[in-house]
Amino acid sequence: MDERAALTLLADELDPVGDDAAIVDGLVVTTDMLHERTDFPAGTTRYTAGWRSVGASLSDVAAMGAEAIAAVAAYAAPEFDREELLGFVRGASDVCESVGAEYVGGDLDGHDEFTVSTTAIGRTTDPVRRGGARPGDVVCVTGTLGRTAAAIAQFERGDHERGNDLFQFEPRVAAGRALAPHATAMMDSSDGLARSLHQLAEASDCGFAIESDSIPIDDAVFETTDSEREALDRATTFGEDFELVCTIPEDDVAAARADTPVALTPIGSVLADGVSLDGDSLADRGYTHG
């Protein structure tokens, strides 16, 4: 069974809707595990790893439209270097501070490979789920897409400083809170825009028509490619950008954009079925978390 099949099995067992975070007793809770081989390219600092791993969980809280309260991390490594450990904690603390949450520590574990498991907790009385998109709604995305693809390209060419800079994304907690009263469905783009749309389509039993000209591609993508087509592909399928993808009733889009503290870009509309880009079927292709 591959990881995706296993996730589906677990989802059926535990949470048929498959939201970004579980909801229990007015709290939202989410956990993620990341590790060196698949998630932290050579050159990633421990500060960035702390920021990014805790940020990934905070992004799930954001995707529920919830306030972020706290995060913890378990840090596993073959050895514990003082500077690395402090760097990790500072990154984790800083990303929490950036969204008004508290980093409250965690656990350490000896392990062959650097591995981080993070949990974030939020609070909301009115969570936004994945299942509420309705035909006629407008699909919107926060910020820009392709930033992580750009970071990986920079790590690969050896510009670790730029790679680390691009890897430190801002979890969209404030945007998620602002969008909560407007959005009919929401999730984060951690698996890439294409896969996120397919997941929303399945949860809401709807379709999407996306226009490629509208997709906000991060300028950084063009630091490592001149091809518009390649840039679009990176922005659409690479994933791990941790932006919010949401659907909003058409007559509420202007108000939502005014309320949201980051750019909110309409990229298409909700249909009865099918997921398309410029009229062509958009494959359910993207990042499979390793």
Q: Which residues are annotated as a binding site for ATP?
A: 106-107, 130, 190
Is the CB of residue 66 less than 8 Å from the CB of residue 21? yes
- Considering beta carbons, is residue 67 or 218 the nearer one to a copy of itself? 67
- Considering beta carbons, is residue 11 or 254 the nearer one to a copy of itself? 11
Instruction: Using alpha carbons, list the distances in angstroms from residue 109 to 22, 76, 93, 165, 213.
Output: 26, 4, 19, 27, 47
Binding site residue list: 20, 30-32, 39, 60, 106-107, 130, 188, 190-191, 240, 287
- Considering beta carbons, is residue 79 or 213 the nearer one to a copy of itself? 79
Report the candidate in 236, 209, 224 with the shortest Cα–Cα distance to residue 144. Answer: 236
As measured in angstroms, the least distance from the Cβ of 21 to a copy of itself is: 9
- Considering beta carbons, is residue 11 or 272 the nearer one to a copy of itself? 11
- Rounded Cα gap, residues 273 and 290, in angstroms: 30
As measured in angstroms, the least distance from the Cβ of 109 to a copy of itself is: 4
Is the CB of residue 175 less than 8 Å from the CB of residue 260? yes
How many CB atoms lie under 10 A from the CB of residue 132?
A: 17
If phi over 0 gives left and psi between -120 and 50 gives alpha, with beta otherwise, what is residue 272? alpha
As measured in angstroms, the least distance from the Cβ of 209 to a copy of itself is: 32
How far does CA 174 lie from the centroid of its chain?
14
As measured in angstroms, the least distance from the Cβ of 174 to a copy of itself is: 18
Binding site residue list for substrate: 39, 240, 287
Residues at the interface with a copy of itself (CB under 8 A): 1-3, 5-7, 9-11, 13-15, 22-25, 27, 29-35, 38, 69-70, 72-74, 76, 79-82, 85-86, 89, 102-113, 115, 117, 119, 121, 289-290
